[in-house]
A and B are shown apart, each in its own frame.
Chain A
Amino acid sequence: MNTVDFSKLSKEEKLQQFMERIENGEKIEADDWMPDEYRNVLIKLISMHGISEIMGALPEKEWVPKAPSLRKKLGIMAKVQDEMGHGQLLLRVVEDLLEPLGKNRDDIMEDLLNGDLKFHNVFHMEAPTWADAGIIAWLVDGAAIMTQTNMLQASYGPYSRALHRICAEEVFHAQHGESIIMALAEGSEQQREMLQEAIYRWWPSLLMFFGPESAETTGSSKQDITIKYKIRTKTNEQLRQDFFTKYVPRVLALGFKLPDDTMHFDEEKGKWVYQQPDWSEFKKIIAGKGPKSQSRLQLRRMAFENSRWVREALGAKREAI
């Protein structure tokens, strides 16, 4: 047993022990020593994930008052609340990582509003019809489930535990989405058209969701670092391929088309062949220049302002005690 005083080890020795723990499948905890690269990549990844949960609830919440039945209204309401809950979990994980850097939730919000903290490309887009609400729950959540299950065994314990909670609820979201699109797919001609249009509208965003195949496409990619530290196992492209394998046959089976005539599975290569989305558009969107980027950020500011009285009331109570 190694009982050497850990604080007396050199940085290289600490790093070696750290990597050994990861190789052995041990979980790293918030107060454990970790290299800056690991901490920073986790902060970036999990704050982006957490904020995306919150920003992702915004386009969906638009559909709560307009849901076509009480059952669907309750379903989408529960889902919106789940997404906010996921945001709460993930921000807590980030806050513990930020603590040694003297930062907290304020800084995360500041970064979001000044554009330093990106959120998922899909949540910058419009959701003009009920079919869009269906596509978000079915395919956008489907894509999110792909990326999240890929990190269930993440080497960072708190993130792994948060993801286990989150993925358990995603099963409900996936079936909620299936039920929306199934009703439209088996509905009137008008409903089928609405769903077809939503599929066309969301397709490029869905391709972009997994990120570029490599840093060469967009100039930066953290996937090599996250794989090195066993935060994730599959690459962006592997996840995108998995997504095609699960969802393309289902879209086609319902008699819908994809806006990509070249899309097919190449048996020889064992890969889906598809047209790349416009990655310069992707960069623009995540830089806060998507169709709904600014109005959703404004919604976030307003939500904070509108609940100010609640915080002030709670603060006053604390002082009185």
Chain B
Amino acid sequence: MYTKSKYVERMSCLQNEEFYHVFEVFSKRNHKSDFQHQFSLLAPNHEMALVMAQENFMRREPVVDIWVVKRSDITKLKPEDKKALERLDNKEYRLTKGYGYLKKKWRKYEQQVLDEKEIMSWGGDQRGPNRNAAGSDSK
């Protein structure tokens, strides 16, 4: 029978820092989505890290792409530096927040403000024949 110390000793010669590295795993759920951080894992190399990533984190979820990055290659903010990310509360001039009055103004001219919902819809099949027929932007 194996003694405990012998087991640990034999284990340590392989399972030390040089053998395993921490990898951070990122994946894309579908072609539209951004890469998302999943979790980390221990693996001896990048190739194994990719295999382990699928086994550990993508047994069920749909996935179209995977990245593994050695944690030691990532530069992180120090905990105390994260404080600097707290934004000052004076960024409204960069946002649409101050333009709420336009809605009321346009109403006077029987028109509507071009808001986010409206503008983000323009990339679609806006110019299809049916829409054009019903729309107001006839040439």
Q: Are B11 and A109 in contact (CB under 8 A)?
A: yes
Q: Would you give the shortest CB distance from B121 to chain A, in whole angstroms?
A: 33
Residues of A within 8 A of B7 (CB): 113, 301, 304
Which A residue sits closest to B79, measured CB to CB?
A32
- A78 to B52 CA separation, bound complex (whole angstroms): 16
Extra pairs beyond A106-B8, A113-B4, A169-B60 (19, CB < 8 Å):
A3-B83, A6-B79, A33-B79, A78-B59, A81-B55, A85-B57, A88-B41, A92-B39, A92-B40, A92-B41, A96-B40, A104-B16, A113-B8, A114-B4, A301-B7, A311-B14, A314-B45, A314-B48, A315-B14
Interface residues of chain B, those whose CB is within 8 Å of chain A, are: 1-2, 4, 7-8, 11-12, 14-17, 19-20, 22, 39-42, 44-45, 48, 52, 55-57, 59-60, 76, 78-80, 83, 86
Q: Are B59 and A81 in contact (CB under 8 A)?
A: yes
A317-B42 in contact given A1-B83, A6-B79, A88-B56 (Cβ < 8 Å): no
Q: Sample 18 A-B pairs with CB under 8 A, ordered by A number.
A: A1-B83, A6-B79, A6-B80, A81-B59, A85-B57, A85-B59, A88-B56, A89-B56, A92-B39, A95-B22, A95-B42, A109-B8, A113-B7, A165-B39, A304-B11, A311-B14, A314-B44, A315-B14
Q: Which of B8, B16, B20, B79 contacts A110 (CB 8 A)?
A: B8
Classify the secondary structure of B's interface with A. mixed
Which A residue sits closest to B16, measured CB to CB?
A106
Q: Tell whether A7 is near chain B: CB-to-CB under 8 Å.
A: yes
